[in-house]
Chain A
């Protein structure tokens, strides 16, 4: 499942997308994120359960700003969350 967290406003699309089929619930992205944007939650989508990464409810409304410091306007982009994730479950829409 592709879980989209975020919003769209007048200036653009701000979504963090987690591929829950790839996510193994290791929590490395949570530890790597300097601004507390991510958390591990109980997988409540299926009867099997387990853990998966998600954007915290509070952050869903402001990731454009929270993720700002990780995203240089120029030069190579190295997002701590994306780099930490071995199965490559995290993408950003902007």
Chain B
């Protein structure tokens, strides 16, 4: 691909199956499908343990994407969608998961998924998704106590970062690192609305500011906005970040610096938190259905 047509925003799609697990000797097989505005994720669990998963870009048709991502997660397992007795849909496109029996909001699923990934000490979950940002407080069981969703604009979201990656021509997966490659932090861009922030960043580049500096200014503006949200619900330790942007070190390390709280390190990919939570809700719902609880 030539440098000109390179897609800097494109992140890696992937799938994985846990090698030493076998669905033949499990009681309950469930799945969670999280259709986000940018990424779609499917997680299959065996008796509530992570077994197989996939993450890909959401296509124009969410229903088609739901089928694709589920098939991809099941690819090396010899299981078919119809062999999974309970699937829960979540995320912005949750109503478009044709094989899901129930839908649960992504807020509840992210809290539940974070509880699974990071353990029962988690009290504050920050989910930065493709098009919105959610601050969630939860209890030791992963149940939501309080939440705040910011959907004023695409500010401080994954989609905003994708647009920005393209603008400064740095691959999305290296963007956070690039933004940290500055000696001292420049002032944040004054606007976090994607359209204005883009114009402002372009102006800064034209003034001769380095890509690193402009990236730092953009990340810092995002972080300031996120901190506003978090202070509204209150931040209590342990603090974790989920969603695709959790992998952006430029965001996470600035959050840590400016909040004075270190987010826990994930043991599993935090982009899967919503789908994991959905698969766990599916387990509870299925057990209720068949009279196990």
Which residues of A are interface residues toward B (Cβ below 8 A)? 1-5, 7-9, 13, 15, 44-47, 57, 60-61
* Interface: B12 (CB within 8 A): no
> Which of A3, A8, A45, A60 is within 8 Å of B151, CB to CB?
A60
The reply to whether the CB of B27 lies closer than 8 angstroms to some CB of chain A is: no
Q: Decide if B206 is an interface residue (CB 8 Å cutoff).
A: no
What's the least CB distance linking A45 to chain B, in Å?
4
Give the total number of A-B pairs whose CB atoms are below 8 A apart. 51
Please report the C-alpha to C-alpha distance between residue A84 and residue B290 in the assembled complex, in whole angstroms. Answer: 40
Indicate with 1 or 0, residue by residue over B131-167, a CB within 8 angstroms of chain A CB atoms. 0000000000001111111111100000000000000
Residues of chain B whose beta carbon lies under 8 Å from any beta carbon of chain A: 102-105, 107-108, 143-153, 228-229, 232-233, 281, 284-285, 288
Task: From A5, A8, A44, A47, give the contact of B229 (CB < 8 A).
Answer: A8
A61–B151 contact, CB under 8 A? yes
Name the A residues within 8 Å of B152 (CB-CB).
7, 9, 60-61
Contact indicator A2/B145 (Cβ below 8 Å): yes
**Quick check: A3 and B285 within 8 Å, CB to CB?**
no
Cα-based distance from A44 to B106 in the complex (angstroms): 9
For the complex formed, measure the closest distance between the CB of B190 and the CB atoms of chain A, giving whole angstroms: 10
B146 interface neighbour in A4, A13, A60, Cβ under 8 Å: A4
CA distance A4 to B107 in the complex (A): 12
Bound-state Cα–Cα, A75 to B147, Å: 32
Contact indicator B147/A4 (Cβ below 8 Å): yes
Given A45-B104, A45-B105, A47-B281, CB of A7 within 8 Å of CB of B150 = yes
A to B CB contacts below 8 Å, 5 in the list: A2-B145, A2-B147, A4-B147, A7-B151, A44-B104
**Contact status A15-B232, CB under 8 Å:** yes
Closest Cβ of chain A: how far from B217's Cβ, in Å? 18
List, in ascending order, chain A residues with CB within 8 A of B228's CB. Answer: 8
Contact B232 A5 (CB under 8 A): no
Pick from B146, B149, B229, B281: contact of A1, CB under 8 Å: B146
